[in-house]
Amino acid sequence: MRRERSAGVVVYRQGDDGARRYLLLDYGRFWDYPKGHVERGEDDETAALRELAEETGITDAQLAAGFAKEISYFFRGKTGSLIRKEVVFFVARTSRHRIKLSDEHEGSAWLPYEQARQRLTYANAKQVLSEAEEFLSSHAAGVGPDREPR
């Protein structure tokens, strides 16, 4: 069985009302986070930030120290072979409101937690968001004197 590894980012910004807004991308058939394959020689964090920049144009994101959530699932490749996919997600804050969407996506949305949770297509993505929200709520927005960004 072939294995693939990807890395992604649950990226958020503070809304004008002070509430967090999470960025979700429309992949056409599903809504999810910015993510992609870890390339040879890259670590997971570098891959996640590179994919975020490639898919959204966001280059100012700061990863919150202490959060990494890994999920895995199986899917069939183009030849019908079974592939085990492992994806690690980080949480990052940006000050950007506008993004430059890559051509692999059909749309995007900045949504508050409950709406983002409803919009996400897959149960494992909803679980990642729940854990990110809990982490951020318990760590004063994920960045502070004892939570240095990477």
Listing DSSP states for 13-53 in one string gives EE-TTS-EEEEEEE-SS-EE-SEEEPPTT--HHHHHHHHHH
Give percent of the chain above pLDDT 90. 83
Mean pLDDT, the chain, whole residue set = 91
* Exposed e or buried b per residue across 64-82, where buried means at least 16 C-beta atoms within 10 angstroms of its C-beta: bbebebebeeeeeeeeeee
Distance spanning both ends of the chain, measured CA to CA: 34
Residues 6 or more apart in contact with residue 44 via CB below 8 angstroms: 5, 7, 38, 68, 88, 90
Residues 6 or more apart in contact with residue 59 via CB below 8 angstroms: 53
CA-based nearest residue to 103, from 58, 57, 59, 55: 55
In the chain, domain spans: 2-142
Fold topology of 2-142: Nucleoside Triphosphate Pyrophosphohydrolase (3.90.79)
Q: Report residue 128 as tokens.
A: 């990642």
Does 145 have pLDDT greater than 60? no
Give percent of the chain above pLDDT 70. 93
Q: Name 110's bridge partners.
A: 23
* pLDDT for the residue 148: 43
* pLDDT for the residue 144: 41
Q: Tens digit of pLDDT for each residue in 61-119?
A: 999 999 999 999 998 988 999 999 999 999 999 999 899 999 889 999 999 999 999 99
Does 59 have pLDDT greater than 80? yes
Q: Predicted confidence band at 16 (pLDDT cuts at 50, 70, 90)?
A: confident
Confidence (pTM) = 0.88
Range name among 9-23, 90-104, 116-130, 136-150 with the lowest pLDDT average: 136-150
